[in-house]
Amino acid sequence: MSKPAGLLSAKSTSSSKSTSSGSLCFIWRLCSLSGAAASKLSENLFIMNEELELTIEKTVFEGRALARQGRFVVFVDGALPGERIRARLSYRKRRYAFAQLLEVLEPSPQRCASGCSAFGTCGGCSLLNMDYAAQLEQKRNFLLEALHAWPDVAACVAPVWGMEDPYFFRNKMVYSFGGSAEAPVLGMHRRGDFHAVVSAETCRLQSPQAQEVLRRVLAWTRKHHWAPFDERAKTGLLRDLTVREGKRTGQRMVMLTTTALQAAVTELPGIVGDLATTVLHGISPPLHNAARLERVEILSGSGVIAEQLNGLTFEVGVSTFFQTNTLQAEKMFSLLAQWAADAQPRVALDLYAGTGPIAFHLARLGRRVIAVETHPESVAAARRNQQRNNLPAIEWLAADVEQAPEAVFASQPDLIVVDPPRTGLHPRAAEKIVAAAAPHIFYVSCNPATLARDLPRFRAANYAVKRIQPLDMFPHSYHVESLLWLSRA
């Protein structure tokens, strides 16, 4: 059968074999065969590199398409629900397999042109070929799947709040260098291969100005014949290029990270010109983790930029945690403030407070706020931001939530807001939160799997879910953010 015009020949890359522990648990639940039966099926039906015709049943978390042969599960990148495809088996386990998409025989009406030459090989997007309205429904399904054990909770899940324009929204991009000194590449890691880099020159997540910064820097480094850093050999100069933007302020930060000092890097402010408000040079030696900066030099400007959320101004440094999607963050924090106004707390705890966006929205309501944040540098930035916004006193504590003094939780909070990392709540942190017995808890979740893991702890302590509002903070990816309101009976 011929391929539908303009659609549908997959990139010649194999499916990723790497899976997180959460993904493996999810796969294990999907593949509910007995071991003997699954093994028999795999031996009788599947041969490595065999070509199969499959009908896609659904998209699962991590953005992979799921098909079944009998009761054996096959995962395919790049296919959409309802499509009939031709695929080649690329990796097999006892209960499931991965296959490489070769051809879409019957396309889904949800399929659209990705508009990006790197889609399918770049690890940045997994749903860029899916209509945006369908993406939002798919993300709601991810959340419903995670919460399926509690029908009363699943019934609270509202439609996902999407974006009017789901492109060019990111206020931060970190581009990695790859290739060679003669032919350097600047972009994103290849899907399933951290050591390979795919060009991001046609990326639709970054602003056109960030794309121009990328092009100028790449041409400049090519002129100098600088070698990209090779993680395995621990050789080379160029690590990555960071671009941070104030979507509300128009300010832009550019930082080049190298493995060593290089005098010619002082040319960088002239290379990016008026595209950057401030330019920095970061140094991360070969044996360091790429995210660990041994030294940062300011080449021009102040070294920070400003961004605004709902009229609040924030100082953003190169290492500052800040929500990557300014417009959607404003929606989320506005909703949180509305819920807080309805809950009418006298004392609120903001746990995993970062640089203070939640604490500031609560403080503007006239509430007493105690904020706990792990990183001292984030607390220092939050205090500066507090002064900048002339906010009433917020009590700041630099500590891990699970190790925070008991006095914090004994302050009789009426509201506790938690915004944990993707790993969810530390068990000790969850114990302290439950023991505080606050009438209301707002849980900001960026991972449905860890939300589903944490939720029973609150239900066992007589907390009921009142509202769940999902938001699309990362269009074209499988990620979904959720804001939950739990009330204690």
Per-residue pLDDT tens for 245-293? 999 999 999 999 999 999 999 999 999 999 999 999 999 999 887 778 9
From 478, 484, 416, 414, select the one nearest 452 (Cα to Cα).
484
Q: Take residue 155 and report the two structure tokens written for it.
A: 């019934």
Distances (CA, A) of 164 to 136, 138, 198, 327, 482: 12, 17, 28, 10, 19
Q: Is 136 within a domain? A: no
> What's the length of the chain?
489
pLDDT at 10 over 70: no
Same domain, 409 and 356: yes
| Residue 125 counted as domain residue | no
Q: Is 203 part of the annotated catalytic residue set?
A: no
pLDDT at residue 287, rounded to an integer = 87
User: What does the pLDDT read at residue 51?
Assistant: 92
Do 254 and 155 lie in one domain? The reply is no
Please check whether residues 75 and 44 belong to one and the same domain: yes
Helices and strands of the chain, counted as H and E runs: 12, 21
Tell me: do 370 and 295 sit in the same domain: no
Residue 118 falls within a domain, yes or no? no
Quote the CA–CA distance of 68 and 125 in Å, as a whole number.
24
What are the backbone dihedrals phi and psi of residue 469, each rounded to the nearest 5 degrees, phi first?
A: -120, 105
Amino acid code (one letter) for 395: E
Q: Is the pLDDT of residue 431 over 60?
A: yes
Domain match, 481 and 361 both: yes
Residue 2: pLDDT above 50?
Answer: no
Number of domains the chain is built from: 3
Which pLDDT does position 37 carry in this prediction? Answer: 44
Residues 478 and 353 grouped into a single domain:
yes
Which pLDDT score, from 0 to 100, does residue 24 have? 47
Q: What is the pLDDT of residues 67-82, one digit of tens each?
A: 998 878 999 999 999 9
Would you say residue 446 has pLDDT above 80?
yes
Distance CA 65, CA 111 (A): 13
Round the average pLDDT of the chain to a whole number and report it. Answer: 90
Q: What is the pLDDT of residue 288?
A: 80
Same domain for 377 and 461: yes
pLDDT of residue 46: 66
The predicted model scores a pTM of: 0.88
Query: Residue 417's pLDDT is what?
Result: 98
pLDDT value for 45: 57
d(C-alpha 3, C-alpha 189), whole Å:
29
* pLDDT score for 295: 94
pLDDT in tens, 328-382: 999 999 999 999 999 999 999 999 999 999 999 999 999 899 999 999 989 999 9
The answer to whether 163 and 315 are in contact (CB under 8 A) is: no
Selecting among 31, 125, 156, 446, the annotated active-site residue is 446
Q: Kindly report, residue by residue over 370-416, the tens digit of the pLDDT.
A: 999 999 989 999 999 999 999 987 999 999 999 999 889 999 999 99
Q: What is the per-residue pLDDT for 6? A: 35
Residue keyed to tokens 């006095």 = 407
Indicate whether 472 pLDDT > 50.
yes
Kindly indicate the confidence band of residue 11, based on its pLDDT and cuts at 50, 70 and 90: very low
pLDDT of residue 291: 74
> Do 73 and 48 sit in the same domain of this protein?
yes
In DSSP notation, 273-294 reads: GGG-SEEEEEE--TTS-TT--S
Q: What are the pLDDT digits (tens) for 136-157?
A: 999 999 999 999 999 999 999 9
Asked, for residue 298, whether it belongs to a domain, the answer is yes
For residue 482, the number of C-alpha atoms closer than 13 Å in the C-beta half-sphere is 34
CB atoms within 10 A of CB 324: 16
The answer on pLDDT for 16 being more than 70 is: no
The residue out of 309, 344, 371 marking a domain boundary is 309
Beta-strand ranges (E) seen in 211-259 are 238-245, 252-258
Residue scoring higher pLDDT (212 or 63): 212
Q: What is the CATH number of the domain that holds 431?
A: 3.40.50.150
User: Domain of 55?
Assistant: 1-111
The answer on 330 and 284 residing in a single domain is no
Report whether pLDDT(451) > 90. yes
- Confidence (pLDDT) at 50: 87
Contact 17, 75 (CB under 8 A): no
231 and 345 housed in the same domain: no
1 within 8 A of 105, measured Cβ to Cβ = yes
- Burial level of 439, CB count in 10 A (0-12/13-18/19+)? middle
